[in-house]
Amino acid sequence: MSSSNGHAARLLRFLRIFCLTREERALYKAARGSGFFDPVYYTGAYPDIHPLFHRFPLRHYIVYGEKRGYRPNPDFSPWAYLRYNPDVAGEEVSPLLHWIRGGHAEQRVHKDLPKVEKMPDDTPRLPRFDRTRARGRVAVVMHVYYPDLWPEFADRLRRLPGDFDVFVTLTYRGDETDDLAGEIRRDFPRAFVHPVENRGRDILPFLRLVNAGALDGYEAVCKIHTKKSPHREDGDIWRRHLIDGVLPDEGLEHLLSAFLSDPTAAFWVADGQHYSDPRWWGSNFEATQSLLRRVEIEIGRADLSFPAGSIYWMKPLMIGMLKAMKLRAGHFDPEEAQVDGTLAHAMERAIGILARAAGQHVVQTTELQQALSKPAPKRLRPAFVSAFYLPQFHPIPENDAWWGKGFTEWRGTVGAEPFFEGHTQPVLPSDLGFYDLRVPETMGEQARVARAAGIDAFCVYHYWFDGRRVLEAPLDNLLQRPDIDFPFYLCWANESWRRNWDGLSGSVLLEQTYAEGFEERLVADSLPYMRDPRYQRPDGTRPRFVIYRPEDMPDPAASVARMRTAWREAGIGEVELGAVCFHTAGDTPVDSDLFDFWIEMPPHGLVTKDDYLFGGSAGNILERDIQGGFEGLVYDYRKVIANAMSPEYTGALPGNTICGVMPSWDNTARRDLNAHIAYGANPASFNRWLLDLTQTRLSGSYRQELFVNAWNEWAEKAMLEPSVIWDDMYLKVLADHTGADAQLSEL
C-alpha cells in the first residue's frame, strides 16, 4: 500500500468514530450518562491508541476498543462479561450497554474472578521472628501471585549485589505452590518462603511479615511483587519499569547509599511513580482516613502523596508505623478482582501520607542519581541528651492513703480509655513490662536501652518537702548497687502535690513550705547522690542540679546563692544549676541569668488558643463524636511542633535554653474526663519534630544539648520506653537523630 493510501485509510478510520450506528449512538448516550466510562484510565491503559483518538476516547471505545476487549474502566471487562453471561453473548448486544441498562442492577459478573484456593489446615503459621537473629543490612520482600513470572524475578535476585536477605510469599494454588516453594528454596537456600491465602493482594502478605517482626532491624526493605495489571495493555512494561527503577542492574549500591543517607527520604520509587494528584484518590479516601486514624494521623483530600505500583524501597520508621496499625487478615476484603476501593488500595495511598507525617517524602530514582553528584548532607547531632525520669513505679504509704492500697503509676495507665476514633488509649508497656523500681536491675536495663538510643542521662525527679522524702526508694537502692550503670542527675520537683495532678490547683496532699534554712537541708540531702560516680557532669566538671519551679520559692535569687555556697562548703565545688521554663507565672519573678541554663519542657508554653481541636472557642473540630462526657482539651500535636519552631516563641526563651521535645502528651490516665490530649503524636510526627529542631534550633541550644519530656511518664503518655502499640519506634527515631541507630539495632 502506498503512503498516500495508508494516510487515507487512517483518516477513514478516524472519521468512522463520528459516523455511529444507531446501537453505537445508544451506547454513547448511555455511557456518558452513567459514568461507567473512564477516559483517563482508557487513554493511559492502552498506550497504542493513536493520539488522534485521545480527544474522543469514548467514541474510540465504542467503534474499536470494545471489540478488542479493551476495558472502559479498570473494573469492567467486555470479554469476561460475555464469557460469564452467555445469554448476553447470544443477544449480540454491546456488553457495556447491557451492563448499564440492566446487568449492573442484576449484579452480574463483569470481570475475571480469581480462583481462591483454601489453605490446608496443616499449613504452618508464620513464626515470630527473633529480633536478635543474624541478618543482612537490607531485605527484599517479594510476593508471587503469578507463578509464571518467577523465572523473571529469580533472575533479578541472582543479579543483586551485596548481602540481601530474601522473603517470598506465595499465593496458595495447591500443588503448584508447593512445587514452586521447593524450587525457590533450592535456588535460594537462605530465602524465607511462605504460602498465603489469596487476600489483600500483595499488601496483606507484606503486613504479615511486618507484624511477625520479620523486617525489624534492616536499614531498608525493598518490596516487589509479580505485577501484571491485566486491566492495562502495558502491564508487563509497567512492571519492568517499576522494578528496574528500584533494582537496577548497575549502580544499585550507590543509589541505596544515597537513599539511606537522606534523612528526609522515606520511600524510593521508579521515575514517574510518585503520585500526588488528588484525582488518584478514586474511591479510597474514607478507607484511607480510617486507616491513618489508627495511628493518629489526619488527612484532607488535597493531601495525596504515594508511591504508586506498590513496588519501592522503604525505611524502618515506615515499617514500624505499618506495624502499629495492627491490621490482620479479617480487616481485608475477600478477593473479587477489585481494582479500587479495597483496604489494599487504601493502604497503597496511606503509606505516602505516613511519610509526610514524619517530615519525609517519596524520592524517585533520577532524584537519587542527581544526589550522587552532591556531597551528602551533614546532620547536626545533639552533644548531650537528657530525659526526665519519673520514679513513681512502686507503692508508698502516701499513695496508698490518697489513691488506694498498692497504687503506682501503672494503675491509671491500664485503666485509660479512648474518647474518640483514633485516640490511642490505653498505651501499655512491652519490653520492660510493668516494672517495680524498687528492683535496681530494672533501672540498669532502662539505662542500657536508653544509652543505645543516644540518651546520656536521666534527670530524675527528686521529691523533697522540707526534709520529708517520698519516692526515694529507687535511687537509694541504686546507691547500694554500684555495679548497676544508671547515669543520672536530680531535678528537685518543688511543686506541692495536689489531687488533680497538675501541681497548680485542687486540694493539697503534700505541701512545699520553704521553711527557713531549707536550702542547706536540701543540699545536704543531695550530697550522697552527687558523690556517686554515676551522677552526671555534662560539662565534664560540675555536677548538674535542676529546680523545677524556681519562681515558687519566696526569694529565688537568695535561695540559689545559699545553695551554691552550701555545695561549695560541702566539698562539691561549683554546681551547674538549671531550671525549667514552665511558662506559668509563679509567686516570684526569676531573672533569666540566675541559672546556668534553662530547660524547654513541652507542652508548657507551646499550646495556643488556635491549636485546640476540642474544648477551645471553635468547639469540636475533630469531625467526629467525643464519647463518655469528655470535658477536657484536645490540641494538635503538629501545631505544637510548628509553634516550637516559630520565631515569636523561640525569641522569648532565655538565650541559655536547652531545646526540648516530647514524644507525646495525654494525661487521660490521670485526669480521665478532664484530660489534656496532644492528638497526632506518634513516632512519625516525633521524627518530624526532631528533623525540624536539628535543622533549625539545635545549633543554638545550650551546649547543643537536647532534653526529652519524658522517659517514662506513662500516665501522661510522655514516654520513650517501648510500648505495645509503638514497640521501640520512639527510641529508634531518637537513635537516628543522635547517631546511635546502629547500636540500638543490636539490642
SS (H, E, C) 36-104: CCCHHHHHHHCCCCCHHHHHCHHHHHHHHHHHHCCCCECCECHHHHHHHCHHHHHHCCCHHHHHHHHHC
pLDDT digits (tens, 9 = 90+) for 191-213: 999 999 988 989 999 999 999 99
Decide: 74 and 340 in contact? Cβ < 8 Å: yes
- Domain annotation covers residue 747: no
* pLDDT greater than 50 at residue 613: yes
State mean pLDDT over 672-677. 95
| Peptide bond preceding 710 in cis form (omega within 30 of 0) | yes
High-pLDDT (> 90) share of the chain, %:
76
What is the tally of structural domains in the chain? 3
CA–CA separation, 560 and 566 (whole Å): 10
The answer on 629 and 580 residing in a single domain is yes
Decide: 158 and 128 in contact? Cβ < 8 Å: no
The answer on 170 and 100 residing in a single domain is no
How much is the pLDDT for 530? 98
Give the three-state DSSP class for 658.
strand
State mean pLDDT over 641-655. 95
pLDDT digits (tens, 9 = 90+) for 305-331: 999 989 999 999 999 999 999 999 999
pLDDT band, residue 470 (cuts 50/70/90): very high
The answer on 186 and 59 residing in a single domain is no
- Domain annotation covers residue 292: no
The answer on 142 and 22 residing in a single domain is no
Q: What is the CATH number of the domain that holds 169?
A: 3.90.550
The answer on 38 and 174 residing in a single domain is no
The answer on 96 and 144 residing in a single domain is no
pLDDT digits (tens, 9 = 90+) for 222-250: 999 998 765 556 668 888 999 999 999 99
State mean pLDDT over 412-421. 95
State mean pLDDT over 381-401. 96
pLDDT band, residue 104 (cuts 50/70/90): confident
CA–CA separation, 701 and 263 (whole Å): 21
How much is the pLDDT for 265? 97
- Domain annotation covers residue 279: no
State mean pLDDT over 577-584. 86
The answer on 650 and 541 residing in a single domain is yes
The answer on 56 and 170 residing in a single domain is no
How much is the pLDDT for 91? 84
End position of a domain, from candidates 106, 129, 151:
106
Which segment of 4-8, 220-224, 535-539, 692-696 scores lowest on mean pLDDT?
Answer: 4-8
How much is the pLDDT for 108? 83
pLDDT digits (tens, 9 = 90+) for 112-131: 777 777 888 878 888 899 98
pLDDT digits (tens, 9 = 90+) for 53-85: 999 999 999 999 999 999 999 888 898 889 888
High-pLDDT (> 70) share of the chain, %:
95
Q: Does residue 504 or residue 683 have the better pLDDT?
A: 683
Q: DSSP letter string over 147-214? A: GGGHHHHHHHHHT--S-EEEEEEEE--THHHHHHHHHHHHH-TT-EEEEE-SBSTTHHHHHHHHHTTT
SS (H, E, C) 590-625: CCHHHCCEEEECCCCCCCCHHHEEECECCECCCCCC
How much is the pLDDT for 341? 78
- Domain annotation covers residue 125: no
- Domain annotation covers residue 51: yes
How much is the pLDDT for 11? 87
Q: What is the CATH number of the domain that holds 730?
A: 3.20.20
* pLDDT greater than 80 at residue 279: yes
- Domain annotation covers residue 286: no
How much is the pLDDT for 455? 98
- The DSSP 8-state label assigned to residue 421 in this structure reads T
State mean pLDDT over 697-712. 97
Give the three-state DSSP class for 141.
strand
Question: Measured between alpha carbons, how far is residue 90 from residues 27, 87, 111 in Å?
Answer: 18, 5, 18
pLDDT digits (tens, 9 = 90+) for 361-390: 999 999 999 999 888 778 899 999 999 999
Nearest to 153 by CA among 232, 222, 252, 81: 222
pLDDT band, residue 1 (cuts 50/70/90): very low
* pLDDT greater than 50 at residue 503: no
The answer on 571 and 645 residing in a single domain is yes
How much is the pLDDT for 235? 66
Give the three-state DSSP class for 279.
helix
- Domain annotation covers residue 343: no
How much is the pLDDT for 561? 98
CA–CA separation, 746 and 451 (whole Å): 12
- Domain annotation covers residue 513: yes
The alpha carbon of 663 is separated from its chain's Cα centroid by a whole number of angstroms, namely 12
How much is the pLDDT for 415? 93
* pLDDT greater than 70 at residue 95: yes
* pLDDT greater than 60 at residue 745: no
The answer on 30 and 97 residing in a single domain is yes
- Structural domain that includes position 260: 138-272+310-335+360-372
Give the residues across from 713 on adjacent strands. Answer: 718
How much is the pLDDT for 723? 98
The answer on 466 and 328 residing in a single domain is no
* pLDDT greater than 90 at residue 744: no
Give the three-state DSSP class for 413.
helix
How much is the pLDDT for 204? 95
The answer on 85 and 146 residing in a single domain is no
